[in-house]
Each structure stands twice: as C-alpha cells, then as structure tokens.
Chains A and B, each alone.
Chain A
Amino acid sequence: MKTLLYVFIGLWGFLVCSQNKETLYDFADIPQSLLLNPGTDIRFKYHVGVPFLSQIHVNAGLKGGSLYDVFADDGRNINEKIETTLNKLTSNDYLTFTQQLEVFSFGWESKKNNSIYFSGGVYQELDFIGYFPKDFAVLAYQGNQDFINQPFRFSTISGSGELLMVYHFGYTQKVSKKLTFGARAKLYSSMLHVRSAKNIGAFTTIETPQGSNIYQHIISNADVTVRTSGYASLRDIEAETSSEEAKELVNKLIGRAILGGNLGLGIDVGFTHKIDDQLSVTGSANDLGVVFYTKDVETYRAKGNYVFDGFETPIQFSGEESQNFLDEFLDAVPLDTLSSSYITMRPLKLNGSIKYAFNPYDDGSCDCFLAGEDPPFRDALGVQLFMQFRPKRPQYAASLFYYKRLFNFLRTKVTYTLDDHSYYNLGFLLSTHIDKINFYISANNLFEYTNLAKARGVSLQLGFNFLM
C-alpha cells in the first residue's frame, strides 16, 4: 500500500506521454527518422550511429494532473489536495513512461541499385503505462460509506509495462520520383512483461431494505487477470540482495536481451508521396507485431461471484454451518496462478503528415547537394497526426510544424502539439551537421521546463551519428 502510494505520487510529475516523437518524424536529415517511417525520403548515402549514443530517448507524461496538484507548497493540507486531485482524476487518466536507448545503428545505399537504402540496428526499450485505478483509489482513500449503491469497477485497474530489446533491419526505396516506400522487420526479445487489462466485474455495497440485513456486499462477475513473464524467476532472486544474487539477475537479463527472452515479430511500413515538388504526404505504421510469451510465464487470475450480508445468528435456525468469512470468500473468488503461454500485440503506432516545402537553395549559396539533384528547401510547414494503441483506448496527438534550415550545418524544427496532456505543447529539434558528424537534440513541452512540477509530459531525445 505504502509502496504503491509512493510510486504513484512519486512518478506523478515525471511521467507520461505517448511515444510520439513529433519533432523527429519526417526529419529526413537524421537517420533515426527511419525508425518512425521507413519510407522517409532521405538524402544520405550511409550512416553509423555512435554506439549507445545514437538515440537516447526519454518520454514521460501524465494525463489528468501534475506533481504540483498534490505537493504544492501553498499552505494547504496535503490530504485535502489529494482528495481534490482524486475527485478530479478519472480512470482514463494515466501515467506513462518510455525510454529508448539505441545500442547501435547503421545504414547504407545499395551498390547495385542506388534507389535502395538498407538500415538496421538494435535498441532497448522500456515502456510503461498505468491507468489511474480511480475506483479502488477512492475505496482505499475514502472507504465505501459515502458510496453505497455505487459500483467499484475492476475495469479501472489497467496497465502494462515491458522491457525489451528490438533487433531490426529494413529498406527504403525510391520507387519513383514521386514515391518512396520502406519496410522494416523487427525481432523482439522481451526481458520483462507485466500486463493487466480488460478486467471486468465490480464490488458494490447495496442497501437492502427488504433483505435479511442492512446491506449486501456483492462481488459480481469478477475476472481480474495480471499476466507476467520474466518475473517469476526474478522474484526469487529479488528476495536476496547479496552481490552474487545481483550478478545472477544481471546475467539473466542480459541473456534475455540477446534473444534469450520471449520472442516476437513485427514490422514497420511507411511511405512518402510527393504530390509535386513542394507538397508531400507521408504515412507510417510502427510495431505492427506480437510477442509470444512462453517462458517464465505467471498469470494471476481471480474470478467469481460473492455475496456477503453479515453473520446470521442463531445459526441453528437456518440449518447452515458457520463458516469463516475469509475462507468462504476465497472459495467463491479463488486466486489462481497459471503458467499458460499468452500472446500480446505490441503497441501499434500510426503517423501521418502533409508537408509544404518552400524557399529552395537555388541561389548557389550552398554546396549541399549533388549535381543533377534538386536543391533542398530551406523551409517547410505542415501538419502531423499521431495515434498509439494502448490497453484502454488509443492516444492521439496532432501537431503543426515548421522546419527551417538556418544554415546548412544547423537545421531545426518547431512543433506545436495538441494531445491528451496539454494544449500548449511546444517542441523543438536542433540538428547540427558538421562534416560527417551529426548531433541532434530535441525536447517538447518547452513551456513546462520552467516548472517541471506542473508538467504533464516531457520528452527528450538526443544522439550522435556519422552521416554521408
């Protein structure tokens, strides 16, 4: 209970957005844009990411509240603030955290067919989303006295978390002057996975003026499942904390990272379609795939119905045996531990954009393109849409963006995004291109950096590449 409260409140300010990378999407100067759309219209001939430094990505967000709501130093009692926040939050509010680290990445233009670009690499991803378990937070914080006849729904318990490695390889082909298409195959090796979704049933205390007692406490159609994989074998290690055990834990995780975990397959596909020289449309689908959880699987499931209306006395008049309340409850709603395999879809992400480019480098001020190729544009304006499937419902975001090549060595993109977290999400990407070295850094929710306590989402990514 204590841990839960700490974790939830502690993570409050720092967590949750979706995996939207609005600044990086279709930013064709950086190879990592190929991970968002394998059909990005890129112009480089090869790239190598600096190992462990080519993409560092952290994304945290919270929908519905902020750390400030609860911990503001404003003289009000914290319990009052918790109560206000509790009443404000709904079970569709959530906390999310995503972290990615590219271990290495590379790409090259095919020698046989220079319209094809191959790219591949390995990255690690940690992804967590926890919905606010509104009904049970209320039950724990306020009790059932003020909520007679109102159901506490198990469906408000929902969340998932996963730590995995992704091995990927794909290609990008300029099919014609107007169309670039790309696809990427992915092999997932899941190290840890926890998921509880689609729970049903409710706990309700109803008033029964005609019944045998004042109330009936009813657990109806309960079916609550928590699936885990990779957890059961670690749990035993966690119990001990000697360095030997810690070593074993690390070895286990590394083993799973290098294809020893639960494996899965997926694809990314995407395209860029140039309507004319200046106007283009793009679209992509990422992580259309599944992971098969067969190893080290433990699923906990509680299912059943139960009605309690007190203890009857004298019991001899009803002819029933006196039973322990807890035993009776556990018989009616048994908790089973299963080890059957399961399959889970990866969180599918969809991106799309329309871009209008203008102001080309045709005044001879830039030697940044090859003879015979069209000069690049210095400015572009457009709209992007993003959608990610989550356990409860999809998350959406829409962005306006402005791309600007300030100099050939300094390229930027500014985004203004509307999403679940805020209506004032300003993002910025800065990419430097000096000789063959590319460095980029991007952050969103810039307004909120002035006070992270009030932030409802923060995303940061940066990396180094060699490009030519």
Chain B
Amino acid sequence: MKTQKVSLLVLIIGIALQLTSCVKDLDLDQIDDVVLTPVYEFDFLFSRIATDQFIDPNTDPTIIIQPPPIRDTLNYDLLSTDFVVDNLERVELTFEFSNTIERDFVFEFGFLNEAGQRIGPSFDIVAMAGNGEGTDPVITTEVIVLDTATINVLGAAAKLVSSISVQNVTSTLQGVLELKSKGTYFIIYEP
C-alpha cells in the first residue's frame, strides 16, 4: 500500500519535472551565423635616415649628387599562414613620414616569394620635402589598402623588399627622414 503511494508520488514528481523543465525560446541554429570580426593593429615598417648616412659630409658642397637608392630585404612571413590567407578580408597599411630634409624622397616596397621572385604589386609613396634641420618636420601620411585578391597573391610572401631614393642632393643638406607605419588587419572568421 505504502509502496504504491510512494511510487505514485515519485511518478507525479517525475512527470512534473518533465513538464516544467524545458528549454524555451532558444534558436541554437544561430550558431551558424556567428562571425568574428576582430580588428588587429600591428606595427609594420619603421625607419630613420639622417643625411650623413647617405651623403659624405666632406663632399664638395657645390657638387650635386645622385645617390643610389638605399635598398633592403627583410624576412617577412606574416601574411603567409593559412588562417590569415583564408580569413583576412582587408589590410590597411598606414605610413607616416616626418621629413626635415629639403628634398622629396620616394619610398618603394614590394614582396618576394621563397624563390626570391617578385610577387604582387609594388607600392610607392612620395615623402614630401621638409624645411631643413631644426624646423617642424613635414608630415606625409598615406594609407595603402590590400584587398582580398592582393592578400591571396601575397600569401606566398617570404620577404619584403624596400628602397628609398632621393635625387639632386648636396653635402650641405641636413635633417632626418623618419618613417612609422602600422598594419590594420580586418579579420572575418566564421567558425
């Protein structure tokens, strides 16, 4: 008799729990719509060039020199991981030149693959001439956008090549050219 009573009670409680415990108003399919869109900023290239690094100060000041471009090759594989290639939507490279040297400079850069061959486009920026040593530097800012197609090509990049060129200099020129830059990486990741 008692056993019956208790079984009944347990049953009622069981059913009550079943009926009342549920997961309401949820749409778990929304997980398919999850998109991560983080934006990362990382430093890119930096540079500091003073006139005495490319002009011999003892040169006769009346001679106009055409110095060879200052070329450089760096290891650069930040764009080459699968995650980046697959999920990087856009990169904005922001360059900021501060120049006190009274000449325009041309900064050019591009990428090489493992085999040392040029891949993707080359980019060049003109850093405007400054007003001489001791003056406020002249600022040139430029943003270069790498779109998805370019990023896909640059997935094979292993090295970065750059050059800085200037024309018609004399040993009387004084000043500094500084470059600061950053990359803003826009990720679109659908897990």
Contact = CB atoms under 8 A, between A and B. Distances in A.
Interface of A: 1-2, 5-6, 9, 13, 67-68, 70-74, 77-79, 82, 139-146, 148, 205, 212-217, 308-317, 322-326, 409-410, 430, 432, 434-435, 439, 441, 443, 449-453
Contacts of B21: 449-450, 452
A70 B26 CA distance: 9
B9 A314 contact: no
A311 B2 contact: no
B43 A214 contact: yes
> Which 9 pairs of residues, A with B, have the shortest CB-CB distance?
A310-B43, A143-B38, A449-B21, A73-B27, A314-B72, A213-B46, A78-B30, A2-B191, A143-B39
Contacts of A70: 30
Interface of B: 2-3, 6, 9-10, 13, 17, 20-28, 30-31, 33-49, 53, 70-78, 94, 96, 160, 162, 164, 179-182, 184-185, 187, 189, 191
A326 B6 contact: no
A215 B160 CA distance: 20
A120 to B, nearest CB: 28
Given A311-B160, A449-B21, A215 B26 contact: no
A451 B22 contact: yes
A313 B47 contact: yes
A450 B20 CA distance: 5
Given A78-B34, A314-B70, A217 B43 contact: yes
Contacts of A316: 72
Contacts of B180: 212-214
B31 A143 contact: no
Contact of B45 (A82, A142, A313, A452): A313
B103 to A, nearest CB: 17
Contact of B9 (A148, A322, A432): A432
Contacts of B73: 322
Contacts of A439: 6, 10
Nearest to B46: A213
9 contacts: A71-B27, A78-B33, A78-B34, A145-B39, A212-B180, A324-B75, A432-B10, A434-B3, A443-B17
Nearest to B191: A2
Nearest to B162: A313
A325 to B, nearest CB: 6
B143 to A, nearest CB: 13
B24 A451 contact: yes
Given A79-B33, A215-B41, A452-B22, 10 more contacts: A6-B31, A77-B33, A78-B31, A79-B34, A143-B39, A145-B40, A309-B43, A310-B45, A409-B2, A432-B10
